[in-house]
Structures are given as C-alpha cells and as structure tokens.
Amino acid sequence: MSAEVAKAQIELKTKIYKVPQHDLKTWSSLVTPPGLMALFERPKPQDVQRQQKATFPLPITVVCDNIREPNNLGSIIRTCAALPCSQVVVTHGCCDPWESKALRGGCGGQFRVPIQENVNWKDVAMHIPPETAEDCHIFIAENKADKLSDESFSSINYAELKQTGAHNILIIGGESHGVSDDAYNFMKLVGDKGKCVYIPLAMGSDSLNVTSALTLILFEIRRQLLEKIELE
C-alpha cells in the first residue's frame, strides 16, 4: 500500500502530511473522524466529462428539483455515477452538492459525473445536447395521486416505460416539497414525449426514499436503452 501511495504522490503531485489526531478532530465536522482528510480543488464539469468518456455514459440527464437534504443529494450523485449518466443538473433551491454530508453520501461520485450547479429552470434546456433536441424525452418521478390523475400529461408505471429518446431527462424531487411547477412546465415543452413515472406501492405506503425511487427508474431507463442498442 505504501508503494501505491508513493507512486500516486509522484504521478498526481499529491502531498501527504501526518498531523496529530486532535488537529483532525478540530478540523473535521464529524464527531469521530476516521483519521483521513483531503483538500482538493473542485473539478469543472467539462474536466469530469473528458475523464468520463472511457465509461461510455448513457444519454441520461438527472435533474434535481427541491432536493434539500445533503445525504440524499450525495446518494443521487452516487447512483448517477454508477449508471453512468451523462450529467446531473442541480437546480436553484437544492442544497450544495459539495457540502460535507453530500460528499460522504456521494462516495466519490462528484468526481465521476459532471455536475451543473445552481441552475435556474429557464436555463436547464441549455445543458441538454442541442443535437438531441428533436428527440428528447422528459420523465418526472411522481407518486402524488393528484398529479398522476392530471389529464394534461401521461402517467405510466415505471415497469411499463418503453419509449426512450436520443436524450432522456429524469426529474427527481425532494421528499418534503416534491416536484415543482417549473419542472412540469419544462416537461410540457416536449409534448407527448414527456411523462410522469410512478412506482406502485403497497397500501399504506406513501412514497419511497428519493434515492430508492431514482435507482429503480434509472435502471429501467438504462435497460431500455441497452436493449435498443442491441437491436440496432
């Protein structure tokens, strides 16, 4: 292990310091720090995107709407990096994806998937590849009965999700505030290519944890995309 650390120091020009445990306790926000702390420069989305090409990211953008809990946002980013998605868009009003709890929840995901931060809804479309504009599908993860019964847009069971596009946007809302009206207005821009996606639950259960819901829907979209690639 020491040889690997020494090699990393040379190749990545990383500096390692040994400091007293009581100093780590002073600097750390944790009650019981693990004995390791890192200082790093926040990567630019375009730099992460260049590194990400080797993992062949899928044409999926996850848009976070009203995600106020850092642990949840970190877990969302971790899932998106594992898929992998093309990018994560964090809209204005969400918590900071680089906050310490979000970083711990992300388990390194922040360095493996491009993150567009503090984006206003009027600018979300600017972050979608322009060449996919004619075949962009938008999905909103929703479990509120009043939204699902709205006849102005389609609602489907996540297991029946069949249609995917050249690019696919999945909007996930916070557990307390849900998905905003801005998100629904954005979905309406693509007409019948926009749908609400719900996960059927047992009676008495209102909703899943936001990360659990995201994971189920994302991997179903991934399955559909991979099947489409195989057919081609």
d(CA 174, CA 76): 11
Token pair in block for residue 74: 């970190």
Q: What is the pLDDT of residues 22-73, one digit of tens each?
A: 888 888 888 888 888 888 888 888 889 888 888 889 999 999 999 999 999 9
Contacts of 34 (CB under 8 A, 6+ apart): none
Cβ-in-10-Å burial (0-12, 13-18, 19+) of 77 comes to buried
User: Is the preceding omega at residue 84 within 30 degrees of 0, hence cis?
Assistant: yes
Domains, the chain, ordered by start: 1-39 (no CATH), 45-231 (3.40.1280.10)
3-class SS of residue 198: strand
pTM of the model: 0.88
Distance CA 144, CA 137 (A): 21
The closest alpha carbon to 143, from 209, 192, 75, 67, belongs to 209
Two tokens, residue 169: 């946007």
For 141-191, how does the pLDDT look when each residue is reduced to its tens digit (9 = 90+)?
998 877 788 777 889 999 999 899 999 999 999 887 789 999 999 999 999
pLDDT of residue 2: 73
* Comparison of pLDDT for 25 and 193, the residue scoring more: 193
